[in-house]
Amino acid sequence: MNGQKNTVVLSLFLFITIFLFCYWSAPDLIPKTSPDSWGYLNLANNFNDEVSKIRPFFFPLLIKLCMNLSELYWQQLFSIIQIFFHAVICIFLFQLFLQLQLHKTISLWMTLIIGFNPSLVFYTSYVLADHLLAVLTTLAWICTINSVQNYRKNYKLNWYLILTAIFSGLAVVTKPIAILGILPLIFTFIIISKKSIYIIKPIILILIINFSFYLLWEKYKDEHNPATTFELLDSIEYSINMTAIRGGLVDYGIGTPLYNEIKRKALLDRAREFRIKISYTMDGNPEYWKFNKSLSWEIKNDKEFAKKILFNAPLKLFIYSISNWHAFFTKRCFGPGEGSFPYMPEIIRNYYTVGYALLYRPSLVIILIISFIILWRKQYFTLLISSGGILLYASLSVALLTPHGGEFPRYRVWVEYIMWFCALFPIGILVDNLILRFNKT
């Protein structure tokens, strides 16, 4: 009883500390916006808006809920809800550390490291769907781990399986990139359960629940605004076109509007010279950015050019897209924004910013590899397969669908909770062993 009470007290301490820290990062609680934010805001005001062609409903629904609760202070309410989600997820991660038999004090400090992560804190006060996607994906991942543990005891359907499907399905209607995110979780369930004849029905049920959210959203659009029906190239033609140009594949799109515009501006020779160079950080070519800014947004989203690239040079496009993959893990996070953490001493701010920058680079890749080795040796296969599968799916899909690595710090928020849980785990094991040895001497 004392142990349970102590855990509750520590969980409450974590929640309050992380919540107040996030509030300190943006005390006015006015969320930041970017060009993408306006699509979500428009959809929150009208679910039949044309932006519904590429934006699902769930994140705008959260915004609309805040607007309905308080028309005047909806922004502050929105930030409070996002901070609340962040603090709650950290509590769940703390509990998961304890399930892995790490000392409570170690688990506490590692959870605080995740809770104070600048990327996560930064996006709790942003009108973008990335943080909500991270929350839903992490909840689905945690439910998967618990569902497998419960299913192996009696091979019966449990609520964790249902919750896995619900959270994963809501992630799909938060950002479409998560549409196949359920597959690593189902793969985990199949591998760990080892009872193929018994898992067919649960898997069918999970898939039905998971994809029902997306299908219902598409059905709603068909009935209320057929013009917003999703097409294959919607929202990804820009990535295809810019990756092709960065790789010098411009001539494969001959005769298209984008190609003709490049030719009209006498930029063909420059475009033919572009090549994607492999580097540790995959920083953008300054000449490419000048070229990019010389073209209008509409022309850069030329679907005809994208179709020609996909038809004429699919392998080259894939190779150039995947060349960014490692930068998903090597890009450093964003630092605290302007006006954040008022009255924080400059020396503390520097330690905070530099400390996390070093955790991302060069530490992240190294400790992730060590973590997966430890998980394998300790036979934590559920955690290993589910975490590795989600990180692999997220990093590859972002690399393939993002035109350059400069956007990775934002899109990586999707799996920051899972990634840093895995990265910190070996450190927790090491510290735990050192404490045990010290107590024995």
pLDDT digits (tens, 9 = 90+) for 32-70: 998 889 999 999 999 888 888 888 999 999 999 999 999
Q: How many CB atoms lie within 10 A of CB 206?
A: 25
Q: What is the pTM of this model?
A: 0.92
The 10s digit of each residue's pLDDT in 94-115 is 999 998 888 899 999 999 999 9
pLDDT band at residue 334, thresholds of 50, 70 and 90? confident
CA distance 437 to 11: 27
> What distances in angstroms separate CA 271 from CA 37, 166, 243, 253, 335, one per listed residue?
31, 45, 12, 12, 33
CA distance 168 to 148: 16
The 10s digit of each residue's pLDDT in 248-290 is 999 999 999 999 999 999 999 999 998 888 777 777 778 888 8
The 10s digit of each residue's pLDDT in 416-430 is 999 999 999 888 888
Cβ atoms 417, 138 nearer than 8 A: yes
Flag whether pLDDT at 197 surpasses 90.
no
pLDDT at 155: 64
DSSP for residue 32? B
pLDDT at 3: 67
Flag whether pLDDT at 131 surpasses 90.
yes
Of 150, 209, 153, 171, nearest to 418 by C-alpha is 171
pLDDT at 132: 97
Contacts of 402 (CB under 8 A, 6+ apart): 239, 324, 408, 411
pLDDT at 281: 75
Q: Crossing angle, helix 182-193 and helix 381-401, to 10 degrees?
A: 150
The 10s digit of each residue's pLDDT in 293-323 is 999 989 998 999 999 999 999 999 999 989 8
Domains of the chain, residue spans: 2-230+332-440, 237-321
pLDDT band at residue 332, thresholds of 50, 70 and 90? confident
Flag whether pLDDT at 1 surpasses 60.
no
pLDDT at 186: 92
